[in-house]
């Protein structure tokens, strides 16, 4: 039988190991039934004026073998409700964004990867909430979406989900 001190130490070590990385919702949308879905996801749907929120654009294809090779899109928001702070870097393929229109509520973004993106996040940025009801003004416009390698145009299969969702709350 193990001494009480050994058992207590094992419990403390197990607890410390669990504390290294806190549990957080998975921002990856679930698989879709057909085609490709694009989502706007935020980290805190209940953020109040003065708080910072992270807004991301993600895609998910029904066919797991399909990898996105290029895309262009626009994130629209009401600048009276949200103020753009900064882009969140995504280190996967070539990605660019143009926040010059942020003052009028538009950020353009694009990306390309010959072998396809491993990260399903197309764009991500932080914003400061200026007024309540800021979520209602977030919209996504996808202009182009193509598959890697084959360069197949995925736009005809693309559905832009209108509802803004919290990370971990995306349903097909």
pTM assigned to the model: 0.78
Count CB-CB contacts under 10 A for residue 23: 6
Quick check: 39 pLDDT over 80?
A: yes
Average pLDDT over the chain, rounded to whole? Answer: 83
pLDDT, residue 169, reads 53
pLDDT, residue 10, reads 39
Rounded to an integer, the average pLDDT of 81-110 is 96
Position with higher pLDDT, 151 vs 83: 83
pLDDT, residue 65, reads 82
For 129-167, the DSSP string reads E-STTGGGG-EEEEEEEEETTT--B-GGGEEE--S-EET
- CATH 2.40.30.200 fits domain 25-166: no
**Can you list the pairs that 153-159 forms with residues at least 24 positions away whose Cβ atoms lie under 8 Å?**
154/36, 154/61, 154/66, 154/68, 157/34, 157/35, 157/36, 158/35, 158/36, 158/37, 158/38, 159/32, 159/35, 159/36, 159/37, 159/38
């Amino acid at each position: 039988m193990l001494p009480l001190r050994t058992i207590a130490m094992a419990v403390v070590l197990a607890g410390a190991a669990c504390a290294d990385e806190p549990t957080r919702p998975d921002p990856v949308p679930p698989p879709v039934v057909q085609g490709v879905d694009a989502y706007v996801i935020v980290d805190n749907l209940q953020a109040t004026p003065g708080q910072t929120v992270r807004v991301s654009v993600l895609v998910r294809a029904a066919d797991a073998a399909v990898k996105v090779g290029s895309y262009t899109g626009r994130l629209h928001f009401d600048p009276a409700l949200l103020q753009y702070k900064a882009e969140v870097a995504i280190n996967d393929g070539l990605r660019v964004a143009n926040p010059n229109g942020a003052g009028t509520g538009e950020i353009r973004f694009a990306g390309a990867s010959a072998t396809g993106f491993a990260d399903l996040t197309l764009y991500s940025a932080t914003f400061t909430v200026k007024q309540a009801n800021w979520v209602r003004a977030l919209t996504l416009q996808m202009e182009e979406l193509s598959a890697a390698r084959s360069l197949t145009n995925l736009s005809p299969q693309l559905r832009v989900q209108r509802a803004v969702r919290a990370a971990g709350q995306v349903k097909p």
